[in-house]
Structures are given as structure tokens and as C-alpha cells.
Amino acid sequence: MKTTVPFCRTPVVAIVQARMSSTRLRGKVLKDICGRPMLAWIVERLSHSRLIDQIVIATSTDPSDNPIAQWCKKEGVALYRGELEDVLDRYYQTALTYGVRTIVRITADCPLIDPQVVDRVITHFIEGMFDCAGTDDTYPDGLDTEVFTMLTLRRAWQKARWSSEREHVTPYIWKHPEKFRLLRLSAPERLGHLRWTVDEPEDLELVRKIYSWFYGKKDVFLMEDVLKLLRQRPELMEINRGIQRNEGYQKSLKEDRLIRSV
């Protein structure tokens, strides 16, 4: 039976998962972009959301993530430190600690996150009284936004068993439409072939070029601005063309299958 949670406008908290130990581009979340760490740009872009009331960085207790904690302390950004691999538990404990009822999930490898896209997802989530809402794969890879209730997060935290479900936070929710009221939002046009996330050195090169183009010109540039730039300079899209979307999740699914076969 699907759950429906009576919803009134409660504080909306963006929880940004961040770690330094990325295997493909170690330390990427603090890599420099136009003189500031990538994580700083993500926090600033989220601050332009009309509907987010607080931003919390959720990192791990592993010593490798001390630089993230130090940056948060220096900048006055709210922080929670928890499990390294069990990111679902890290989200749940963060939400418990901060008394969150409505969670926006953002990953720290998305320096082009669009606050207007985020607000669109939040608005549909609230108006439709969904358990979980998110962008689908018609959006560029790197604008990924998910919004869910604390009750939905708690149920996933209690029920999710596979490493892919624990590491990537929401797969259990999306795999059970019979249990949750779900919404996937599509982009105005099919843009899923565009890669704006940062997992590889080529991704970082592209993002740096995009930031350099807009730096000092606008307070915050949006998806439409980046699309216009890429249409003017299509050669930029060749920088990171061919990298698989959601490679980390596909790797986790493969590991799950190997465990099942034992």
C-alpha cells in the first residue's frame, strides 16, 4: 500500500553528500574552480534556491574527510560526519541530528546544480504530496535532484539491504513504487546526453571552462545559460564525451550480483 504523508510547509533542508576518497578523481569536491573549492560553488548555488531553508554537508568520520570538515568550520556551513560507505545511514543520521522532515538530496560532484531546477522538484513534491520526487535522465547528468520525506528515508534506512541501496541512498525507494508515491520530472527537452557532473579529470576540465566563461558576468548562471554556451561552442562537449552515466551505481549493482551468485 502506498504511503501518503499529510504535508504542510516545513523547513526544507538540502543535505549535500561529500567525500574526498573518490576513486576516479580523489579530492574532487575541494578541487579549485575559479579560485574557490567546488563544494563552495555548490553551496552558493543552492543558496539561490527560493525554497531551501538550510544546507548541511554530510561527510564521513574517515580522516581523509577532515579537510571537508575544516572547510565547513571555516565557512560556517552546517556539517554532519557519519558512515563512509553506508551513505543511506549518513543521510538518516544527518536528518535525525538536524530534525529534518523534508530532505533535498544533492551530491557534491554537481557544481552546475541549478537552483531553479531544484525549486521545480521541491514545488512538485510539496504540491503533489509525494513521498519522493526527482529529476529523470532527460536532464543533463549533474543536475540530479531528489526530494523526500523523513518517513520515506526512515523506511529505506530500515529496509534497504544491498550495498547499491545503502551507498546510493534512494534505489530502494525507486525500486518500490508499490510502497511509495513517486514522481520523476522530465526536462523541457531531452538533454541526458550532456555530462555536467565531475567524476573524471575531463569533467573537471569542462566545468572549469564553463565557470571561466560566466565568472564575473552573472550572480548565478542556470541550465539555459550553459545550454546556450554549448550551442555557441559545441567543441566543449567533446571534452568529456563518451563517459558512462551513473558509472558508480552500475558498479555497485555488479557487486550486488556477484554477492547474490555466491
Q: How many CA atoms lie within 13 A of 97 on its CB side?
A: 15
Q: For residue range 107-135, list pLDDT tens digits in order.
A: 999 999 999 999 999 999 999 999 999 99
Mean per-residue pLDDT of the chain: 92
How far apart (Å, rounded) are the C-alpha atoms in residues 207 and 198? 8
79 in Cβ contact with 59 (< 8 Å): yes
Burial class (CB in 10 A: 0-12, 13-18, 19+), 105: buried
How far apart (Å, rounded) are the C-alpha atoms in residues 121 and 175? 19
Residue 36 has pLDDT above 50, yes or no: yes
Over residues 25-35, mean pLDDT: 97
Residue 49 has phi, psi (to 5 degrees) of -65, 140
Q: For residue range 184-220, list pLDDT tens digits in order.
A: 999 999 999 999 999 999 999 999 999 999 998 888 9
- The residue extents of the domains of the chain are 12-261
Residue 261 has pLDDT above 60, yes or no: no
Ranking 8-17, 80-89, 201-210 by mean pLDDT, the lowest is 8-17
pLDDT of residue 262: 44
Residue 258 has pLDDT above 60, yes or no: no
Q: For residue range 155-166, list pLDDT tens digits in order.
A: 999 999 998 899
pLDDT of residue 218: 84
Confidence grade of residue 10 (pLDDT, cut at 50, 70, 90): confident
Q: What fold does the segment set 12-261 form as a domain?
A: Spore Coat Polysaccharide Biosynthesis Protein SpsA; Chain A (3.90.550)
